[in-house]
Structure 1
Amino acid sequence: MNKNTKPTEAELEILNILWEKGASTVRQVHETLEQNKESGYTTTLKLMQIMFEKGLLKRDASSKTHTYEALVTRAQTQGQMIQRMVDTMFKGSAAQLVMQALGNYKADEDELSQIREYLDRIEQEQKTKKAS
């Protein structure tokens, strides 16, 4: 996925299914989508064809029923989307993003502990870089 590729909300739903289930047919993806919202099979097919053209999916056409697989990882996609959000909505300030997220979401003790550990690790890495 290049930096200009921006998955739509519908494309993200499909990517989430493929990240969870792995390689799947259009029918399998469509059946999963229909569990949460009404959607036409041809709409799912068209979306997946567009995603293939955008480089978000790869298609295995070796059998009668084509299977699709995500070409991008969840981490890649999250990273690009977060970077775009930080740049556009928070004027480049990751701190503002984190404070907004924590201010609007009640993190439990386990999540707060994970955040503290992550911040401690980043701080340690920065100290190590300065010392070298």
Structure 2
Amino acid sequence: MNKLKLLKPSENELAILQILWEREPATVKEVNEILNQRKPTGYTTTLKLMQIMHEKELVTRTTEGAKGKSHLYSSAVTEKQINGQLLDQFIQRVFRGSASSMVMRTIGRSEISPEEIEEIRNFLDGLDDNPPS
């Protein structure tokens, strides 16, 4: 997969990817059963979504079984890749590209425990020692 390709999974595709990240490979039936625990979803809907995701190169699939009628799906993208791209898109759209505005707004709207504040400080201190490339 081209790493420069902009990944834009829909909300339903993201739900499927999250399932695959936890328990890949999985069949459509297995994914559908987990989706149904959250909200009713038809098998054919899940199948069609996963076929589209295969075309979009979000998932890979292999054939299994004696007659080759069953497919095993795995994610073709990592959770880190998707989270990073979605976060970058969100920062651009909502905060005009300002990560600091997003962080300050998030911290200002949340009740943050002393432990979380310490964790944030440690993270920031780590950036001083190892700035991102």
| Structure 2 length-normalised TM | 0.87
Rounded to whole Å, the distance in 1 between the matches of 2:6 and 2:63 is 27
CA offset digits 1:26-54 (Å, max 9, x no partner) = 00000000001011110000000000000
CA contact (8 A) 1:3 1:80 kept: no
Q: Which segment drifts farther, 97-106 or 47-56?
A: 97-106
Match of residue 63 from structure 2: 61
* 1:21-36 correspondence runs (5 A): 21-36=23-38
Gaps of 5+ in 1: none
Gaps of 5+ in 2: none
Rounded to whole Å, the distance in 2 between the matches of 1:108 and 1:41 is 42
* 1:74-113 correspondence runs (5 A): 74-113=79-118
**Whose helix fraction is larger, Structure 1's or Structure 2's?**
1
Quick one: which amino acid aligns to residue 58 of structure 2? L
Structure 1 vs Structure 2 CA RMSD: 1.7
Rounded to whole Å, the distance in 2 between the matches of 1:96 and 1:3 is 27
Question: How far has the Cα of 1:21 moved from its partner?
Answer: 1.0
Question: How far has the Cα of 1:115 moved from its partner?
Answer: 1.5
Rounded to whole Å, the distance in 1 between the matches of 2:54 and 2:122 is 38
Question: How many residues are treated as equivalent by the alignment?
Answer: 127
1:19 aligns with 2:21: yes
Question: How far has the Cα of 1:85 moved from its partner?
Answer: 1.0
Identity over aligned residues, as a percent?
Answer: 44
